[in-house]
Structure 1
Amino acid sequence: MFPYWVLFSIFAFGAITHVLRPRGEKQATILLYVAVFVLMLMVGLRYKVGADWKNYEEIYRYLQGATVPELLRMQDPAYMLLNHLAQTLNLDVWFVNLCCAALFSWGLLRFAEREPNPWLTIAVGVPYLIIVVGMGYTRQATAIAIVMASLREFEDHRYFRTFVLFVLAASFHKSAILIIPLIVASSLRHRFAIYSVGAALAALLFFVFLDQFVDTLFSNYLDAERSSQGAGIRIAMNLLPAVLFLTLQSRFAIGEQERQLWRNFSLATLATVAGLILISSSTAVDRLALYLIPLQLFVMGRLPYAFPARGRRSDVLVFIVLLYSALVQIIWLVLAQHAEYWLPYQTVIPNLFG
């Protein structure tokens, strides 16, 4: 588990340095890019890490010989096309993982670089979003990160880019359409047009990317069982930042549309708690909960800056948030039922040059 702690330490150290000894903007940006590049390599060049590793290898083998039109008719066509490209180049699953990791890292960076302490924002995401989701659920992790990038476009009122990114996200995992209503409902401008386009887009994406044959093909996934078992934990992790935001939202220095967006995320988190209790199958609820993980990064990353500067209060809160994140990582690596699939961390690099 040492490599995971190295990854966490990189961003934790960056978060502390950002507070105690702020660097020049250009230098800080370059260092952040280098750190995210290391993150991308670690996520993309992993080997036999994550409980679904064998399933992704099975997908790769199944798609051999498939034509591009056939791939486009399948579920998650962008992911299928990446597999096809890897086969065309005579490469392996690691190439698909690396491409997905590049998109994942880009979306994460696009989201974090707008925050007051980007290092802290990413450090909050290391224990679960990056290690568990990013290295375990390749397709959905890519979709989540692209959605995170689309949130920034939405906050800047660039709605066309927002919807384009949603199409890309849904092409990696169609469950991305679950988050569209939360985004659309947060709009404060041109509501009728955005509501109409959002509803049409959600319906279109659902039917375009729905393929019962491929759903049956992947019905052997352990993913559904694990989602149900871990749904309570994931929802609980979202619940803390949701309550914090709803309680302290006036302290967050953000615009009204952004405030409405995160308010909707927080209310959706409360709804997932009710859904987990009332719905017999927690898988659907858990799918939505995964897309609410950005709320953790936003709230916990901004929490130290949500209070007036008195002495070194913000510095202390940065340490507290980092300790909380480290505790999450300890609990996952030591106590989680399925952590064995992530341990030890291995890289494909020796196989490439062996």
Structure 2
Amino acid sequence: MTYYLIFFLLLGASFLRKFGPEIERFLYLFLLFSLFIFCAFRYEIGCDWLTYKEIYNYDDAVYFFRQGGTLEFGYNLSMIGLKALGLGFQAFNILIALIFFTGLNAIAQRNINPIFFLALAFPIVIVNLPMSGLRQAAAFGFLCFASLSFIDKKMFRYILFVLLATSFHSSAIIFLLLSPFLRFELTQKNILLASIFLAPIAGVILTSSYGNIAISRYVDSDLASSGSYFRVGILFLVGSYFLLFLKANWKELFPRDYKFILLSSIAMIGCFFILLLSTVIADRLGFYLWIPALIILARMQTIPNRYRQLSVASSFIGLLLIFTFWANYSYFFDRCYNPYQMKFLANHYHSIDFFPQKIA
């Protein structure tokens, strides 16, 4: 019930902006910091907690020779640096949460109602990434800055942040393929030229050792992600809704980021079809596409449309239903996220469960 309470608290706070910008600013910063604490100081929460803790406690030399690990130098160097300072695994959690929420804040600040943005991000993005998938959480944070660099047409910054994201999770390297579109308009000629240029690069990535590792892990194996159908399905609906109902108005109202959102919407639809190849790959890539998806969902309330209020309400209801189904019927959620526990000191942690279940 802790997670529901936070979700509805964020939702309720998003309507308090009518009391003035000062109140809104204070509430936003307070809630952002609270979410950071909630994720950074969690204790034994998240399905990958023990795995990341064991990796952190390995010998430093292992990091650079781990299978597929050489590309993820940011992940490896951050662990080595923290251990050199005598800091434990909790410090690593704090670092990842800091990267994630710094990036999320940068995106949220570009939107009219940043608290609304946080509320949308909580049930899927925040619960899944900085509370479990630490490497991808850091990659997500850097890709937030990469997304803003794409919108601002800053080529060097875009490539830099994509590489930083890749240094924590190698899957982020695919976003280098978007770099040619940063400077050029989306015409048929430019798309054709970019495709000719990018095809061999994509081939190199797929046939590299990292591509082979991904194929062997996620395509040729039996590894699957049942939750990906719901998460990627929502992305498919968001991308389709943009292309069908928001595209024209968006180009007029938000020309600055129109190209980024248009390309991302196409990618959201394409990600849905990747499910046929691998649910895990679709899910991994899909988490990054939540950056533009959150922008679309957060701005729907500002775009003139006869169904505007219905669309905004539907987005929240949809996220709530997906989260409710996951929280109540997923074995992994019950095992990995309940009850929520927080730890500040080395030998102590505080258990937080506002609505504890009775034990028979």
- Shorter chain as normaliser: what TM range? 0.7 to 0.9
Once the two structures are superposed, residues 1-23 of structure 1 have per-residue CA deviations (whole angstroms, 9 ceiling, x without a partner) of 41x234323421221112xx141
Contact residue 159 and residue 176 of structure 2 kept, 8 A: no
Contact residue 272 and residue 285 of structure 1 kept, 8 A: yes
Q: State the structure with bigger RCO (CA 8 A, min sep 6), 1 or 2.
A: 1
Contact residue 174 and residue 206 of structure 1 kept, 8 A: no
1 CA distance for matches of 2:347 and 2:222?
33
Contact residue 274 and residue 281 of structure 2 kept, 8 A: no
Q: 1:250 — aligned with what? A: 248
Identical columns (%)? 24
Contact residue 108 and residue 118 of structure 2 kept, 8 A: yes
Deviation for aligned residue 1:283:
2.7
Q: How does 1:180-195 map to 2 (within 5 A)?
A: 180-182=176-178, 184-185=180-181, 187-188=183-184
Q: 1:152 — aligned with what? A: 148
Q: 2:329 — aligned with what? A: 335
Match of residue 348, structure 1, among 336, 343, 352: 343
Greater CA deviation, 37-46 or 321-330?
321-330
Once the two structures are superposed, residues 60-95 of structure 1 have per-residue CA deviations (whole angstroms, 9 ceiling, x without a partner) of 121x34399779973422122221122222222111
Q: 2:90 — aligned with what? A: 94
Q: 1:14 — aligned with what? A: 13
2 CA distance for matches of 1:263 and 1:301?
16
Q: Equivalent residue of 1:349, what SS? A: strand
Indicate how the Cα distance of structure 1 residues 116 and 65 shifts in structure 2: closer, same or farther if over 3 A, else same: closer
Deviation for aligned residue 1:270:
1.8
Structure 2: give runs of 5+ residues left out of the alignment: 350-360
Deviation for aligned residue 1:329:
2.5
Q: 1:55 — aligned with what? A: 51
Aligned length: 336
Indicate how the Cα distance of structure 1 residues 55 and 225 shifts in structure 2: closer, same or farther if over 3 A, else same: farther
Contact residue 16 and residue 24 of structure 2 kept, 8 A: no
Q: 2:275 — aligned with what? A: 276
Greater CA deviation, 170-179 or 71-80?
71-80
Indicate how the Cα distance of structure 1 residues 36 and 206 shifts in structure 2: closer, same or farther if over 3 A, else same: farther
Deviation for aligned residue 1:339:
0.6
2 CA distance for matches of 1:157 and 1:186?
6
Match of residue 41, structure 1, among 37, 42, 51: 37
2 CA distance for matches of 1:260 and 1:145?
21
Q: Equivalent residue of 2:226, what SS? A: helix
2 CA distance for matches of 1:135 and 1:167?
23
Once the two structures are superposed, residues 77-131 of structure 1 have per-residue CA deviations (whole angstroms, 9 ceiling, x without a partner) of 2122221122222222111011010010011010111112111112111000001
Match of residue 83, structure 1, among 79, 85, 91: 79
Greater CA deviation, 85-94 or 122-131?
85-94
Greater CA deviation, 324-333 or 295-304?
324-333
Q: 2:299 — aligned with what? A: 302
Q: Specify the code of the residue in structure 2 equivalent to 1:165.
A: F
Contact residue 230 and residue 322 of structure 2 kept, 8 A: no
Deviation for aligned residue 1:189:
6.3
Deviation for aligned residue 1:238:
0.7
Deviation for aligned residue 1:262:
1.5
Deviation for aligned residue 1:36:
1.1
1 CA distance for matches of 2:222 and 2:29?
36
Once the two structures are superposed, residues 244-300 of structure 1 have per-residue CA deviations (whole angstroms, 9 ceiling, x without a partner) of 1111222235544622222221212222222223x2x33333322222122331121
Indicate how the Cα distance of structure 1 residues 230 and 326 shifts in structure 2: closer, same or farther if over 3 A, else same: closer
Please tell me the root mean square deviation across aligned C-alpha atoms, in Å. 3.7
Q: How does 1:186-225 map to 2 (within 5 A)?
A: 187-188=183-184
Q: How does 1:228-243 map to 2 (within 5 A)?
A: 228-243=225-240
